[in-house]
């Protein structure tokens, strides 16, 4: 997402593409294949299609985006306010210096410290890649990797608290078929540079993947990561204006045991009216993360995407009320990460009727998906017994 209206395909063309890819859902398992377990993962990591903390606790993101790159003076108060609304995660906009003023390592260190102080998991994203191929000023994913390696000192040792979102919406509607190879190369370079963090990759087509490019190639991208620690992010705006489209897309990843989050979404947009009720309800039923766009400061005709007016935490907008206090909203469903002393997303009951293990895979030494807590069997979220 950018602060102004972006170019997108006409609705009818996007609809045709979505209809075609939705028709391929039955083939999702064969297209994707099953994903493996993270190899030598550190901190937040992926296992069996689930996002886990270092102790094995399931972690479901519930959060809000904040545009630090454009409003650095608002970051401190915004992170505190986002936490106060109940969020467990914040996605923070950074800039590589290609389109917007570069966010230096010292500044990133401060952001990470503020996230930790507010007990928020921090998803850091490089925004300059937005719409590459269609936006002539956008950076490449390779240039985004250059940025991350340049600020590596601010990130090493923060693997329990930070997810690196390599590049925001890295392709527009032009040359988006290059997304797969470019994303694989970016992941390879990040691992080669020594990053052990969970990496997040955004879909092409301005993040909405109407072409099904990310969905069809997610398994290949995931398996190209030697750490098997890559999270996929879909941005849901006008393309996802029906429950069927939302459910089809998210279920394709869940069925293929590939980790997916809704990295951005809203209740309205210039390219159509997203079904925010279906997005939030489906994410909750599938135990998937979502991150609403965005705290405040939107312009260019999309001011309705502000969660609060004028960075005032006491002035929730219509969208903010829905996101924070509505059904399946942040206040009702967010659980603080256990790294901060919270319960994470442990607890609750598995489909087979057994309780979920509060301590995740730490109580499952043989890896069969079953643990033992409080003198009874429990199920590890996302494990073989979670059926």
Active-site residue numbers?
169, 264
Question: CA 302, CA 67: separation in Å to the nearest integer?
Answer: 14
CA distances from 371 to 30, 37, 47, 51, 363 (A): 31, 18, 16, 18, 5
Question: CA 294, CA 298: separation in Å to the nearest integer?
Answer: 8
Cis ω on the peptide bond leading into residue 142 (within 30° of 0)?
no
Tell me phi and psi for residue 63, to 5 degrees: -160, -170
Considering all CA atoms of the chain, what is the largest pairwise distance in Å, rounded to the nearest integer? 61
Residue 130 tokens read as: 């937005």
Question: CA 183, CA 195: separation in Å to the nearest integer?
Answer: 15
Contact 222, 47 (CB under 8 A): no
Residue 148 tokens read as: 């991350």
């Amino acid at each position: 997402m950018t602060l102004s209206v972006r170019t997108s395909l006409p609705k009818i063309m996007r609809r045709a593409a979505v209809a075609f890819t939705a028709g391929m859902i039955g083939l999702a398992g064969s297209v994707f294949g099953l994903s493996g377990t993270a190899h030598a993962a550190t901190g937040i990591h992926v296992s069996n299609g689930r996002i886990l903390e270092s102790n094995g606790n399931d972690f479901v993101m519930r959060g809000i985006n904040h545009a630090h790159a454009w409003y650095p003076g608002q970051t401190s108060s915004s992170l505190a306010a986002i936490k106060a609304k109940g969020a467990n995660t914040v996605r923070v906009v950074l800039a590589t210096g290609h389109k917007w003023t570069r966010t230096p390592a010292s500044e990133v260190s401060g952001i990470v410290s503020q996230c930790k102080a507010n007990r928020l998991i921090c998803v850091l994203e490089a925004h300059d890649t937005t719409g590459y191929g269609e936006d002539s000023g956008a950076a490449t994913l390779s240039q985004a990797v250059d940025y991350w390696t340049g600020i590596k000192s601010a990130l090493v040792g923060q693997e329990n608290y930070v997810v690196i979102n390599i590049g925001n919406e890295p392709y527009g509607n032009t040359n988006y078929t290059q997304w797969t190879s470019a994303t694989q190369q970016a992941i390879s370079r990040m691992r080669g540079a020594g990053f052990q963090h969970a990496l997040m990759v955004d879909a092409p087509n301005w993040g909405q993947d109407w072409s099904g490019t990310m969905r069809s190639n997610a398994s290949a991208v995931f398996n190209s990561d030697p750490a098997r620690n890559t999270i996929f992010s879909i941005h849901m705006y006008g393309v996802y204006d029906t429950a069927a489209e939302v459910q089809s897309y998210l279920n394709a990843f869940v069925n293929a045991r590939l980790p997916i989050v809704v990295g951005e979404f809203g209740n309205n947009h210039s390219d159509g009216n997203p079904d925010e009720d279906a997005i939030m309800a489906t994410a909750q039923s599938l135990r998937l993360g979502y991150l609403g766009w965005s705290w405040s400061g939107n312009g260019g005709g999309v001011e309705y995407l502000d969660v609060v007016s004028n960075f005032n935490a006491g002035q929730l907008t219509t969208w903010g009320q829905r996101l924070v206090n509505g059904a399946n909203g942040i206040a009702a469903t967010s659980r603080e990460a256990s790294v901060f002393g919270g319960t994470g997303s442990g607890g609750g009951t598995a489909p087979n009727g057994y309780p979920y293990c509060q301590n995740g895979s730490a109580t499952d030494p043989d890896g069969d998906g079953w643990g033992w807590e409080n003198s009874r069997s429990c199920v590890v979220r996302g494990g073989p017994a979670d059926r």
